Amino acid sequence: MKLERDFYTRDTLIVAKELLGKLLVRNSPDGIVKGKIVEVEAYIGSIDKACHAYNDLRSKRTEIMYKNGGHAYVFMIYGMYSCMNVVTNKENLGEAVLIRALEPIDGIELMKKRRNTEKIKNLTNGPGKLCKALDITKDLSGADLCSDTLYIEDYETISEENIISSKRINIDYAEEAKDFLWRFTIKDNPFISQKINI
């Protein structure tokens, strides 16, 4: 069952945790691909130096994050990779959840082809990788997650004791914001992107 707009327009940290265990579905011309979300990070513009929308900074790129929840915010990083976020909460706040890792569920052959590897574990265990496996590019930035090309489906609900909170990754420039425990992973899932260090 596809998630409704109501799911996304709540508090970002709650949505981030509840996204764990859900299915990210990508319906492309080549076929359909599904993956279970096993790792996410929250970004909250108003208090988070690592967030592109920190300090109410609006630009062409961050404009998407100020929409109301349920849209996709995709940006290009380090020249070659894309990262996908789910915009959360109400309009004009600049909050989003970064999808960091998936567990491949459906369309695995297609993912292998796009990623050019045979190792399942290596297909989607990182933000840049999963975007390539799902053919997500900045063209999809601003896409509505209540549409049919890209959406999230109900699947599993992860209970509180199976969610691990830890520091976010690769945002050392963010000063005190780098210590926020806004990275959420499913306990003992082999498809998370990196070792947890608290």
**Residues 154-193 close enough to bind DNA by CB under 7 A:** 169-171, 173-174, 193
Confirm or reject binding of residue 43 to DNA (CB under 7 A).
yes
Q: How many residues bind DNA (CB under 7 A)?
A: 38
Give the number of other Cβ atoms within 10 Å of residue 17's Cβ. 18
- Write each residue from 71 to 90 as x if it is in contact with DNA (CB under 7 A), else as -, in one continuous string: --x-xxxxxxx-x-x-----
Using the minimum distance from each CB to DNA, give the nearer residue, 22 or 125.
Answer: 125
Beta-carbon contacts of 131 under 8 Å, excluding residues fewer than 6 positions away, are: 74, 81, 82, 83, 84, 137
Confirm or reject binding of residue 61 to DNA (CB under 7 A).
yes
Q: Which stretch binds DNA (CB under 7 A): 3-11, 115-123, 150-158, 184-192?
A: 115-123
> Got the DSSP string for 75-133?
EEETTTEEEEEEE-SSTTS-EEEEEEEEEEEE-HHHHHHHHT---GGGTSSSHHHHHHH
**Residues 5-34 close enough to bind DNA by CB under 7 A:** none
Burial of 108: CB neighbours in 10 Å, binned 0-12, 13-18, 19+: middle
The one among 41, 111, 145, 182 contacting DNA by CB under 7 A = 41
Using the minimum distance from each CB to DNA, give the nearer residue, 154 or 175.
Answer: 175
